[in-house]
Amino acid sequence: MSVKISLTLPDGTIKEFDREITPLEVAQGIGARLAQASIAAKLNGKLIDIRSMISESGAFEIVTMKSPESPEVYRHSLAHIMAEAVLKMFPDAQFGIGPIIDNGFYYDFLLSRSLTPEDLKTIETEMNQIISRKEKFDYKLLDRNEALEMFKKLNQPFKLELINDLPDQKLSVYSQGAFVDLCRGPHLPDSGFAKHFKLLNIAGAYWRGDEKRPMLQRIYAAAFATKEELDAHLNMLEEAKKRDHRKLGRELDLFSIHEEVGPGLVFWHPRGARIRHIIESFWKEQHYRNGYELLNTPHIGRSWLWETSGHLDCYRDIMYSPMKIDEFDYYIKPMNCPFHIMIYKNQIRSYRDLPLRWAELGTVYRYEKSGVLHGLMRVRGFTQDDAHIICTPDQIENEILEALRFSLKLWRAFGFEKIEAYLATRPEKAVGELSRWEQAIASLKRAVDKEGIPCKIDEGGGAFYGPKIDLKVKDAIGREWQMTTIQFDFNLSERFDMNFIGVDGQKHRPYMVHRALLGSLERFFGVLLEHHSGSMPLWLSPVQLSVLPILEKHVEYSRKIEQYFRQNGVRTTIDDKNDKINTKIRNAQLMKVPFMLVIGDNEVESGKITVRMRNGENLTMIDAEAFFKDQEWKKETI
């Protein structure tokens, strides 16, 4: 039976074929140079192997190393190349999974001994030899039983488990050199295409994330299409090490975490607590200015609350075990929203009462596995920058726009300018009327468009209870952090039977929006610390000015200067210890104090001050009052 295949190229050209054909053959028909550069193809939006058989018509595109899709192909191929190198070093190795990740890939292994940093160098050397040999990636499609038999002979129990979990009756495997892997692909034509990589570090990872399963060794790697991209990424990683908030937290005496007390629980030291107080005070002031009211709610609630909200059904794994109080089960709160709803239901609400904008810096507790805890970024107890907007359907669009504008202003106030939006739409399984979803998505999209910020659509990526906007900010070294969320919720208003009395005197269901601008204060603090490399802007610095008398005879005048700035609201210290002035300056620089006032004979005699800035610049013999008035010691508004 003859086969008719019609492929539409990106420029609109249509290629007709009367038989099944491979992407490589299509590329060869277009041109020799394209065929030589081909690493994979796209058919109807799906990546396929360059050697696979095309049996259906559709939109077709050749993928090269310059294509946006190429990282998925070459990073996955490099994971297999690394696995082959590990197999040579450990012939009895058992292989877990090796997916791609942002900027690279990883692979999990069960090995006979622990890997060392020196082992990574050996594995890298072997990988480069594999690349130089230009080993072909061979593709086969096997019946389920054939695949099971193959990996049973290879003594790969993890692969057998994966096969048994797959519904497919036909499974693809790829091999190169001595290595064979269960894989959908696609992969590079040969190993010679993948050249620019670096093995980064080793970590432990439980098989399938289950603490009761074997602990595997995970090798992380970076991989890029060009040497320039790889070098830039490695330089960024080096800079990130210097900016690591855990390192800065120790050096600047901001916070600590004590394993003997409990992992993932943060202790705020005086300097860190001072910065946090400044952030919280600014946050509260700006919320009042933007029409919000602030709430405070309990830390625990009876099980009824969490059963009604659905948290016990959906989030039990992250909630801590209940405590018995008066024969009732109480849970420590993982979220604030049910408490805000209870305040709403405390009285009958009219359309005249809406919108309600209620915000809370509410401390919540969630169970995170020990392996994912990471400084301030992943903790078990944190304070959520939380708010809920409850409004009528005709108010929703303006409320979303104002929430987005507020968020953008807040981020810019903290020094973040590069911000991108991600709009997540209705998934297949969702609650709430379709018309409400459509209105909500349209409101989110119009708000993003009006603010003119870049936006990507995440089709079907919304939660089952509503669409959302996520804002991602880029820090000073180009890393992207997901922070703000503006999330519709069509679920809780139904579960708690929330109503308002409309113009018609009848009950109506309000719209409810969860809104977190900064996320958690702990994670925000970590991102902020790394963004500024510990050198906080003047208005956020725990100590804004340090007075440094050179000798004992300069202390009296120095104390008068300290008192002047302190009484004017400047966070000021004096270093009157019996140290040399260079030591005092160095100590203040290590603590990243923005301004150091060096006081000696000339300053005392003239009644002036000499200012040494954090960047090393000096202002000599200036008036203290004039200097005070020239600086933005406090951020008043946004």
Summarize pLDDT for 574-624 with one digit per residue, the tens.
Answer: 999 999 999 999 999 999 999 999 999 999 999 999 999 998 889 999 999
Q: Report residue 203: phi and psi, to 5°.
A: -140, 160
- The predicted-structure confidence for 43-74, as pLDDT tens digits, reads as follows 999 999 998 899 899 999 999 999 999 999 99
Pairing of strands 255-257, 215-224: unpaired
With beta carbons less than 8 A apart as the criterion, state whether 521 and 461 touch.
no
Which one of 3.30.980.10, 3.20.20.330, 3.50.50.60, 3.40.50.150 gives the CATH number of domain 70-242? 3.30.980.10
Length of the chain: 638
Residue 1 has pLDDT above 60, yes or no: no
Distance CA 318, CA 316 (A): 5
Give ∠ CA 19-25-27 in degrees, rounded to 5.
130
pLDDT confidence of 2, banded at 50, 70, 90? Answer: low
532 is catalytic: no
Per CATH, the architecture of 262-297+336-531 is what? Answer: 2-Layer Sandwich (3.30)
Of 118-132, 419-433, 522-536, the one with minimum mean pLDDT is 419-433
Choose, from 366, 380, 479, 532, the residue flagged as catalytic. 366
Helix, strand, or coil (residue 292): coil
- Catalytic residue selected from 468, 515, 554, 571: 468
Mean pLDDT across 513-523 = 94
Banded pLDDT at 132 (limits 50, 70, 90): very high
Q: Can you give the pLDDT at residue 363?
A: 95
Helix (H) or strand (E) holding 540: none
Selecting among 108, 159, 243, 337, the annotated active-site residue is: 337
- Given the structure tokens 């120790």, which residue do they identify? 250
Output the CA–CA distances (angstroms, integers) from residue 120 to 86, 134, 214, 256, 534, in the order listed. 10, 21, 22, 32, 32
Model confidence over 261-309: pLDDT tens digits?
999 999 999 999 999 999 999 999 999 999 999 999 999 999 999 999 9
CA separation, residue 596 to residues 79, 544, 611, 621, 628 (Å) = 52, 9, 6, 13, 13
Mean pLDDT of the chain: 94
245 belongs to the catalytic site? no
Q: Which of 176, 217, 286, 384 is catalytic?
A: 384
CA distance 509 to 490: 10
Task: Tell me the pLDDT band of 637, cut-offs 50, 70 and 90.
Answer: confident
Q: Average of pLDDT values for 326-340? A: 95
196 catalytically annotated: no
- Percent of the chain's residues with pLDDT above 90: 87
In this predicted structure, what is the pLDDT of residue 322? Answer: 94
Q: Which two tokens stand for residue 543?
A: 């100590």
Task: Look at residue 93 and tell me whether its pLDDT is greater than 90.
Answer: yes
Helix axes 227-243, 521-531, angle to 10 degrees: 110
Cα separation, 108 vs 192, in Å, equals 23
Tell me if residue 436 is catalytic: no
Neighbouring C-alpha atoms within 13 Å toward the C-beta of 291 = 11
Q: Is 233 a catalytic residue?
A: no
- What would the pLDDT profile of 153-162 be if each residue is shown by its tens digit? 999 999 999 9
Per-residue pLDDT of 166-185, as tens digits, reads 888 889 999 999 899 999 88
Cite the DSSP H helix spans in 459-575: 492-495, 521-531, 555-567
Alpha-carbon torsion angle 236, 237, 239, 244, nearest 10: 140
* Mean pLDDT, range 454-461, rounded to an integer: 90
244 has a pLDDT exceeding 60? yes
pLDDT at 315 over 90: no
Q: What does the domain layout of the chain look like in residue ranges? A: 5-64, 70-242, 262-297+336-531, 299-332, 538-630
Residue 519 φ/ψ region, left for φ over 0, alpha for ψ in the -120 to 50 degree band, beta for the rest: left
DSSP single-letter state for residue 193: G
Check whether domain 5-64 has CATH 3.20.20.120, yes or no: no
Q: Which of 76, 80, 195, 388 is catalytic?
A: 388
- The H or E element that residue 174 is part of is strand 170-176
pLDDT bin (cut points 50, 70, 90) of residue 331 is very high
User: What's the rounded mean pLDDT across residues 203-231?
Assistant: 93
User: Does the pLDDT of residue 504 top 60, yes or no?
Assistant: yes
Once rounded to an integer, what is the mean pLDDT over residues 384-400? 93
pLDDT reported for residue 197: 97
Whether 554 is a known active-site residue: answer: no
**Strand, helix or coil for residue 608:** coil
Q: Tell me the helices (H) and strands (E) count for the chain, helix number first.
A: 20, 33
* pLDDT of 199: 97
**DSSP code per residue over 337-399:** HHHHHHHHTTS--BGGG--EEEEEEEEEE----GGG-BTTTB-SEEEEEEEEEEE-GGGHHHH
Catalytic residue among 51, 76, 378, 514: 514
- Tell which residue, 498, 402, 479, has the closest CA to residue 444: 402
Q: Is residue 514 annotated as a catalytic residue, yes or no? A: yes
Identify whether the C-beta of residue 187 lies closer than 8 Å to the C-beta of residue 80. Answer: yes
Superfamily of chain region 538-630: Anticodon-binding domain (3.40.50.800)
